[in-house]
Amino acid sequence: MSKKLSNLIKAETKRQQETLGLIPSENIASPAVLAALGSPLTNKYSEGYPGKRYYQGNQIVDEIELYAQEQGLKAFGLRGALSSVLPMSESKVSELKGLGNSWFLNVQAHSGSPANAAIYFALAEPGDTVMGQSLAHGGHLTHGANLNFSSRFYNAVQYGLDPKKDLIDYDQVESLAKRHKPRIIYSGTTAYPQIIDFKRFGKIAKSVGAYHVADVSHIAGLIAGGAHQAPFPYADVVMATTHKTMRGPRGAVIFSKGPELAYKINKAIIPGLQGGPHNNVTAAIAVMFEEMQKVAFKRYAKQVVKNAAVLAAELKRYGFALVSGGTKTHLILIDLKSKNITGKAAALLLEEAGIVANKNSVPGDEKPFNPSGLRIGTPLLTSRGMKEKEMKEVAMFMHHLVDLKEPAEFVRKEVVKLCKKFPLPYK
Ligand code: DSN
């Protein structure tokens, strides 16, 4: 590697060491996850699935992929089956008896958006109606947002939040579902601080004959750690990116209930959408699932939520307005209008002091490029070992910057001091 590149990697590692990462979708992958990512597994082409590959030489990759599936089912406590039981042709899937309620796991999607593209591809035809939470109200681009493939290839109907409480308006979801009869109803968010009622989503989807797809990218780690309701009893398909609260490599996983859906999803990933899986990522996902079954992971998941609750309470004490009044998850959405600063200006100011957050729309915002909100979360700081005491410090730093207008370089020194007490696990 050139000096230039190795210096850039060192510089980025130092940036991560010396800043407080508050972006709720970011985290820290363990050295074991990084070791799998950096292994020669990256050299192998493996289109297809274990036992059914297009190329030779995949015996070991097959074992790794099946092991990742097995560990993923265990990490979420699911009764499941491995993809190796799926037949070669669709007509034979119905012959698989007794597996209708078993969960199958696809670990090949390259990331969240391709995973969702595969799910649409598997479960709907172009032009079909699909439903999801609007981006402006905390949904994701792939849940039917303007400009995204999900609204260009499908007829996307969007639901949102109740304007008084900033909570998902389940009555609206139900009435829109009854009116539009979608093929797919997505539950799942990227900027929603409260618990999602998957049971209600499941009931609504069932009542209109839609598939319920739960996109738990943000909260998968909380679910596995027992800190959020699980969607599995109420969903047909559950997907998640692996690099957020699960602390894995960049990638995605798709759980499908029963062999029929699993067959469709697998076919949509390859040959439908992707080429060769990233085998180094598959192994890193397996490492992630092993780590998620440890007691320490459950402790981390619960601490993420405790930390967010303390951070939210402290911010409120300093007069910050929080969308939906607070948080029950890892994430906090601050409405900065009462502080007379835009989300963008606040994000830049915090960055100067070494606090990394992101600007975000809050309900009612009309300009997505100049929103009034700031989205923060506690997974990354919790992975560094920070607890309630440090959350109070983080809130105080934000108060000093936004309210007291203290020079960013003063706060920056305190931020670096705090970071040094909680180093990332890298040399
Ligand atoms: N970029 C992700 C997030 O930050 O939530 C969503 O794709």
CATH number at residue 304: 3.90.1150.10
For the question of whether the overall pTM of this predicted structure is more than 0.95, the answer is yes
Same domain flag for 281 and 204: yes
Same domain flag for 137 and 221: yes
For the CA of 26, the nearest atom of ligand 1: 4
215 catalytic per annotation: yes
Angle ∠(192,196,198) on CA atoms, nearest 5? 150
Residue at 4 is within a domain: no
Residue at 10 is within a domain: no
Q: Which residue has the higher pLDDT, 92 or 366?
A: 92
Residue 367 corresponds to which amino acid? Answer: K
Q: Is the confidence at residue 317, as pLDDT, over 90?
A: yes
Q: How many CB atoms lie within 10 A of CB 404?
A: 10
Q: How confident is the model at residue 199 (pLDDT cuts 50, 70, 90)?
A: very high
- Are the CB atoms for 238 and 80 separated by under 8 Å? no
Q: What is the pLDDT of residues 111-127, one digit of tens each?
A: 999 999 999 999 999 99
| DSSP summary character for residue 364 | T
Those residues with Cβ within 8 angstroms of residue 381's Cβ, 6 or more apart along the chain or in another chain: 20, 21, 22, 307, 390, 391, 394, 422
Q: Is 83 left (phi over 0), alpha (psi -120 to 50) or beta?
A: alpha
Tell me if the bond preceding 271 is cis, omega within 30° of 0: yes
Residue at 357 is within a domain: yes
- Are the CB atoms for 336 and 343 separated by under 8 Å? yes
For the chain, give the mean pLDDT: 97
Same domain flag for 215 and 242: yes
Instruction: Report how far ligand 1's centroid is from the alpha carbon of 63 (Å).
Output: 31
Domain boundary among 292, 326, 358: 292
**189 CB less than 6 Å from ligand 1?**
no
Q: Atom 5 in ligand 1: which residue has the minimum CA distance? A: 190
Same domain flag for 52 and 192: yes
Same domain flag for 306 and 228: no
Domain boundary among 242, 263, 292: 292
Place of tokens 């409260």: 194
Those residues with Cβ within 8 angstroms of residue 175's Cβ, 6 or more apart along the chain or in another chain: none
For the CA of 190, the nearest atom of ligand 1: 5
- Helix H or strand E encompassing 405: none
- From the candidates 45, 70, 302, 388, which is the catalytic residue? 45
Same domain flag for 268 and 305: no
CATH of the domain at 110: 3.40.640.10
Same domain flag for 264 and 326: no
421 catalytic per annotation: no
- Are the CB atoms for 251 and 326 separated by under 8 Å? no
Q: Atom 4 in ligand 1: which residue has the minimum CA distance? A: 25
Q: Atom 3 in ligand 1: which residue has the minimum CA distance? A: 25
Q: Which two tokens stand for residue 304?
A: 């993420």
What strands, in cross-sheet order, belong to the sheet with 184-187?
Answer: 103-106, 252-257, 237-241, 211-215, 184-187, 129-133, 155-159
Give which of 77, 366, 93 is closest to 231, Cα–Cα. Answer: 77
**25 CB less than 6 Å from ligand 1?**
yes
| CA–CA distance, 278 with 275 (Å, rounded to integer) | 9
Residue at 256 is within a domain: yes
Same domain flag for 175 and 316: no
* 252-257 and 237-241 beta bridge pairing: antiparallel
Q: How confident is the model at residue 94 (pLDDT cuts 50, 70, 90)?
A: confident
Domain boundary among 271, 292, 313: 292
Same domain flag for 74 and 154: yes
Maximal C-alpha separation, the chain? 69
Residue at 412 is within a domain: yes
Residue 379 corresponds to which amino acid? Answer: P
Q: Is 331 left (phi over 0), alpha (psi -120 to 50) or beta?
A: beta
* 321-322 and 331-335 beta bridge pairing: antiparallel
186 catalytic per annotation: no
Helices (H), 293-342: 295-317
Helices (H), 181-249: 198-208, 220-224
Is 176 annotated as contributing to ligand binding? no
Q: Is the confidence at residue 320, as pLDDT, over 90?
A: yes
Residue at 24 is within a domain: no
Q: What is the pLDDT of residues 71-91, one digit of tens each?
A: 999 999 999 999 999 998 888
Predicted confidence at residue 402, as pLDDT, reads 98
47 catalytic per annotation: yes
250 catalytic per annotation: yes
| CA–CA distance, 333 with 41 (Å, rounded to integer) | 39
Predicted confidence at residue 368, as pLDDT, reads 72
Q: How far is CA 82 from CA 86, 222, 253, 396, 403, in A?
A: 8, 24, 14, 49, 54
**Which residue range is the domain that position 356 belongs to?**
295-421
Q: What is the pLDDT of residues 402-411, one digit of tens each?
A: 999 999 999 9
Residue at 427 is within a domain: no
Same domain flag for 231 and 358: no
Q: How confident is the model at residue 208 (pLDDT cuts 50, 70, 90)?
A: very high
**129 CB less than 6 Å from ligand 1?**
no
Q: Atom 6 in ligand 1: which residue has the minimum CA distance? A: 190
**188 CB less than 6 Å from ligand 1?**
no
Residue at 44 is within a domain: yes
Same domain flag for 363 and 415: yes
- Exposure letters 30-50 (e unless 16+ CB within 10 A, then b): beebbebbeeebeebbbbbbb
Q: How confident is the model at residue 389 (pLDDT cuts 50, 70, 90)?
A: very high
How much of the chain exceeds pLDDT 70, in percent?
100
Phi, psi of 225 (to 5 degrees): -90, 5
Is 140 annotated as contributing to ligand binding? yes
Phi, psi of 88 (to 5 degrees): -75, -30
Q: Which two tokens stand for residue 51?
A: 């036992």
Q: How far is CA 296 from CA 293, 337, 354, in A?
A: 8, 39, 28
Instruction: Report how far ligand 1's centroid is from the alpha carbon of 64 (Å).
Output: 28
Instruction: Report how far ligand 1's centroid is from the alpha carbon of 112 (Å).
Output: 9
Q: How far is CA 68 from CA 111, 414, 420, in A?
A: 16, 41, 34
Same domain flag for 316 and 281: no
**324 CB less than 6 Å from ligand 1?**
no
Beta strands per DSSP E along 100-159: 103-106, 129-133, 155-159
Place of tokens 């960013």: 408
When divided into structural domains, the chain yields a total of 2
Ligand 1 binding pocket mutation candidate from 22, 23, 25 (most atoms within 8 A of CB): 25
Q: Per-residue pLDDT averaged across 246-270, rounded?
A: 98
| Residues in a beta bridge with 105 | 255
Q: How confident is the model at residue 427 (pLDDT cuts 50, 70, 90)?
A: confident
Is 272 annotated as contributing to ligand binding? no
Place of tokens 């969240």: 112
